[in-house]
Homo-oligomer: A and B are copies of this chain.
Amino acid sequence: MNFTFGDAIEMGDAVNRQFLLAARPQGVVKETDFEYRELSVPTPGEGEVLIKTSHISLDPSMRGQMENRADYVAPLELGDVMRAGGIGTIVASNHSDYAEGAQVSGSFGMQDYAVSDGNTLPFRVFANDVDPTVALGMLGGTGMTAYFGLLDIGEPKAGDVVVISGAAGATGSVAGQIAKIKGCTVFGLAGSDDKCVWLTGTLGFDSAINYKTQDVAAELDRLCPKGIDIYFDNVGGEILDICLARIAMNARIVICGGISRYNATGPLPGPKNYFNLVFRRARMEGFIVIDYAQRFAEATRVMQGWIDAGQLKQQATVIDGFGELPRALIKLFEGYNTGKLMVRTT
């Protein structure tokens, strides 16, 4: 790693800037886990398009990919371009189905340019008038995760009490709004008063708990005297146990993420209250959004309708500068962002 962060890297389009995985993180992600490289811009072959990314997404799952702990994605090897979702524009096309100028999103990696034939590196096409931060946010991977996790795994019914951890994150904030649309009472857990104000004031959550300053168990006892019907978990750890102790009959616990676990070294304790699943006839279920790829168009259509009706909102935390990508990922795990975190590369 011989790139110094802060160096000027605004060399224009002449090069393809990349961040590679340089080291598997031990504990928290560090800048030295990345290596910066510049290559020449690739040339699309016959049947291929060249995509120039404008925004790159930072997501908690990237931590597991760096470690190669998560076996649900293809292994990321040392020296590989960091995997990351992004959105950009087709700047050259040798494929009759895809026109130059089209806005497309996909797993383009931490780089300026990607080449695709539309299959080996699949992408979604968005109308050019769709805000790229929305396409990458509410309508992107985290929005899809919220949609299918809440609706297909959580199975909300009107009147259900829904608790969401990591509620001010990209996924949690969308899941909570969808639960409201479905007629649920929604409580969010977040890590700052500002985030809590955003959840209740802007997104319509019924209440929010600052888990860093408030007694989560006592607040949940107060807010959910009849128990929790759906717990949408993005964090794991102690909060999962607190919620497990408070589930209602036939509750659904949606295991979406476990950000409290991702930077740990070595094994972590499991949810000691899991046996409440028996007493409460409840289930705890995990899922991965890529399994729902065939239904992304359906979800996008439905969610666009909610956006148009003003029922679904987002906040994007946009950091400027390609060179900020490693630090942006580090900030994600520090709870820096409200809503979707992304880097604008241009």
Binding site for B on A (CB under 8 A): 70-72, 236, 241, 255-258, 261, 267-288, 291
Find chain B residues with CB under 8 A from A285 CB: 277, 282-285
A255 and B275 within 8 A (CB)? yes
Inter-chain CA distance A85–B236, complex, in Å, is: 39
Among all A-B residue pairs, the 10 with the closest Cβ atoms: A278-B286, A270-B270, A277-B286, A283-B285, A270-B272, A270-B271, A72-B279, A284-B284, A270-B274, A283-B283
B291 and A287 within 8 A (CB)? no
Q: So how many copies of this chain end up in the complex?
A: 2
Among residues of B, the one whose C-beta sits closest to the C-beta of A287 is B281
15 A-B pairs (CB sep. < 8 Å) = A255-B275, A255-B277, A261-B275, A269-B272, A270-B270, A270-B272, A274-B284, A277-B285, A277-B286, A278-B288, A281-B287, A281-B288, A282-B286, A283-B286, A285-B285
Find chain B residues with CB under 8 A from A274 CB: 255, 270-271, 274, 284
Q: What distance in Å separates the Cβ of A278 from its nearest Cβ neighbour in chain B?
A: 3
Inter-chain CA distance A37–B317, complex, in Å, is: 71
Find chain B residues with CB under 8 A from A236 CB: 275
Inter-chain CA distance A275–B268, complex, in Å, is: 10
Find chain B residues with CB under 8 A from A70 CB: 279
Known: A269-B270, A270-B241, A273-B270. A255 touches B281 (CB 8 A): no
Among residues of B, the one whose C-beta sits closest to the C-beta of A153 is B283
Find chain B residues with CB under 8 A from A288 CB: 278-279, 281
A284 and B291 within 8 A (CB)? no
Find chain B residues with CB under 8 A from A72 CB: 278-279
